[in-house]
Amino acid sequence: MLHRLRQWLCPDLAIDLGTANTLVAVHGFGVLVNEPSVVALQKGSRRVLGKGTAVGKLAKQMLGRTPDSITAIRPLRDGVITDFELCEAMLRYFIQKARKNSRGLRPRVVIAVPGGITPVEKRAVFNSAERAGAGRVWLVEESKAAGIGAGLPISEPMASMVCDIGGGTTEVAIFSLADIASSRSIRVGGDELDQAIIDYMKQHFSLRIGDQTAEQVKIAAGSAYPLDQELTAEVNGLDTISGVPRKAIVTSEEIREALQDPLEAILGCVKSTIESCHPELVADLADNGLILTGGGALLRNLDQFLWERLGIPVRAADDPLTTVARGTAICLDHFAQWRDSLDSGDRDV
């Protein structure tokens, strides 16, 4: 009864603190916040624009388009906090947005973080969340949250495998009996895919483009494996030779060539995870295969690329963008079941 009253007064929050996007799920309501991890500032100061509201979608629209008086910043890079003050401001805004009807209480929060972050980086997440208005804070590895959110039978005595490709990191894990049997984390994700397109356009087309343009090209014509019908995309940028704006037409074959190196790095991460696992669990993967989550799972034919190179079934999870947030929310909904696998920063009670 007391627990239900507290949930009514101040629902628990599950946060997927991502390099590209931050998602907040509220106990009993699902994902209520899904916005870019971007903050807009008055240049030369630490003041967030719009009385602290220039965060998320509004701030992302400003990336690369701001006048000299404004700067748009992403406070996370490669899955970890690079600007503590701005991350705190961003979290405070998202937490307040998710719990508009809170009654002054501080919510319990579970935050999904990359498996490869250091103790110092974990402490930064704890401190930023607490200063942003969270009460008790627990951390869960993104790969575990992805497995739970994808509905994998990770508690069973058999292997389940997930590959979560976020904006800054790729998390790969094999589960058995509710624990991680083998895992790897590399700081390669959607940002590196975008950067690969930027580099390719500069090298092969003498065209300089920004991060958002590269992301749009990736969405419009990106693929990891040949398509039945190849695509084209128009790219606007600055000609590096003449110094004037110019358009270019690129094909999906060219974008696929541009993405080769980061895709090979992701493949290598998956392979090394499998190679370090017990043979009996590896045998299960021939039937159970690999589940893709995160924004990177939306890249066309990524499942076919991995299936051909790994020889095991590969498929994308339903709504891969929200899988980690949904898994983190499940950890909250069944807190007693998952509490022992969460990181409390040695402050659990």
Q: What is the pLDDT of residues 168-221, one digit of tens each?
A: 999 999 999 989 999 999 999 999 999 999 999 999 999 999 999 999 999 999
3-state secondary structure of 251: strand
Closest CA to 37 of 16, 51, 6: 16
| CATH level 3 topology of 155-188+264-321 | Nucleotidyltransferase; domain 5 (3.30.420)
What residues does 185 pair with on adjacent strands? Answer: 171
pLDDT of residue 326: 96
**Per the CATH hierarchy, to which homologous superfamily does domain 2-37+74-144+323-341 belong?**
ATPase, nucleotide binding domain (3.30.420.40)
Distance set, CA 25 to CA 18, 30, 74, 95, 99 (Å): 14, 5, 21, 10, 10
* Domain 2-37+74-144+323-341 and domain 155-188+264-321 have a common topology: yes
Q: Which amino acid is at 165?
A: I
Q: What is the pLDDT of residues 60-117, one digit of tens each?
A: 887 777 677 788 889 999 888 999 999 999 999 999 888 776 566 788 999 999 988 8
CA distance 29 to 14: 11
pLDDT of residue 48: 83
CATH number belonging to the domain at 190-260, selected among 3.90.640.10, 3.90.25.10, 2.40.50.140, 3.20.20.150: 3.90.640.10
Q: What is the mean pLDDT of residues 32-44?
A: 89
Q: What is the mean pLDDT of residues 234-256?
A: 97
28-32, 272-276, 287-291, 313-317: the lowest-pLDDT one: 28-32
Q: Which residues are within 8 A (CB) of 191 and not within 5 positions of it... i.e. 6 or more apart?
A: 19, 20, 77, 78, 167, 168, 211
- The whole-model pTM stands at 0.91
Q: What is the DSSP letter of 71?
A: E
Cα dihedral sign, 281-315-198-75: negative
Confidence label for 8 from pLDDT (cuts 50, 70 and 90): low
On the question of pLDDT at 2 being above 70, the answer is: no
Domain boundaries, the chain: 2-37+74-144+323-341, 155-188+264-321, 190-260
